[in-house]
Amino acid sequence: MKKYIPFTFLLLLLSMGAFAQKKSLFNQQDLSGWHADIPEKDKNPSIKPSFIVRDGLLVSLGVPRGHLITDQSYDNYRLEVEYRFPGKPGNCGVLVHASTPRVLYDMFPKSIEVQMEHQNAGDFWCIGEDIEVVNMQVRRGDPKEWGATEGKLRRILNLTDGSEKPLRQWNTMVIECLKDRIKVWVNGDLVNEGFNCTVSSGQIALQAEGAEVEFKKVELEKL
């Protein structure tokens, strides 16, 4: 005898997120669903790629500098990224709500960057878009210099020290984008929380910013 779930109960489950939509943005085989924007390639089309798949990992080689950008745009989601610096410590980042390419220094797309630089994971960088945090002046500097363009104070410091794993170990970063708010956790620690973001949707991008970084997971859950 078949049993059916009452429709009202299904609605309750949906409201509680019981059927949350999770999907991997990286298939561990190739870079389907992504495209690269590498400014240096404009002058040298045969330049080596900045992003590759190696041993089932998505790898940012760090150079030539640029971004790997999702073909799709997203809003209201939780993004989980597992990453590590396999060699020397360095810089990288996850950009959320990305849109217009190369708006900053002819390199960075309009977005909010969630910093992954070694020992600074979770900082916000404002790139043509802006966001607010609690205790803003202490964490960003002189309000007269705040801005999202070249020469302005675009960096907003994170809330913690010591949340990252030792070099070469895997870190888990979770970025929750819900309406005009962005929250960031690193290895379970809440490291940043912003509100009144000037944008609430867009593409997701990974950086090639000088250091090799390996990504084991890039998974998105719709909220």
In a domain, 14, yes or no: no
Look-up of token digits 């600074």:
120
pLDDT digit string (tens) for 62-87?
Answer: 999 999 999 999 999 999 999 999 99
pLDDT for position 57: 98
- Give the other-Cβ count within 10 Å of 154's Cβ: 23
pLDDT for position 5: 55
In a domain, 188, yes or no: yes
pLDDT for position 116: 98
* Cα-to-chain-centroid distance, residue 116: 9
In a domain, 9, yes or no: no
Contact of 94 with 217, CB cutoff 8 Å: no
Q: State which H helix or E strand residue 14 sits in.
A: helix 7-15
Indicate which CATH number applies to the domain containing 177: 2.60.120.560
In a domain, 13, yes or no: no
In a domain, 12, yes or no: no
In a domain, 168, yes or no: yes
Q: Is the peptide bond before 64 cis (omega within 30 degrees of 0)?
A: yes
Range of the domain at 69: 21-222
pLDDT for position 21: 81
pLDDT for position 20: 60
Contact of 52 with 208, CB cutoff 8 Å: no
Residues β-bridged to residue 95: 113, 205
Q: Rounded to two decimals, what is the model's pTM?
A: 0.90
> 173: helix, coil or strand?
strand
- Give the other-Cβ count within 10 Å of 183's Cβ: 16
> 12: helix, coil or strand?
helix
What is the domain count for the chain?
A: 1
pLDDT for position 15: 52
Task: Report CA dihedral (156, 162, 163, 166) to the nearest 10 degrees.
Answer: 120
In a domain, 11, yes or no: no
In a domain, 125, yes or no: yes
Contact of 189 with 163, CB cutoff 8 Å: yes
Give percent helix, percent strand, percent coil of the chain, each to the nearest 5.
Answer: 10, 40, 50
- Can you give the pLDDT of all 223 residues of the chain as single tens digits? 455 556 565 555 555 544 568 999 999 999 999 999 999 999 999 999 999 999 999 999 999 999 999 999 999 999 999 999 999 999 999 999 999 999 999 999 999 999 999 999 999 999 999 999 999 999 999 999 999 999 999 999 999 999 999 999 999 999 999 999 999 999 999 999 999 999 999 999 999 999 999 999 999 999 9
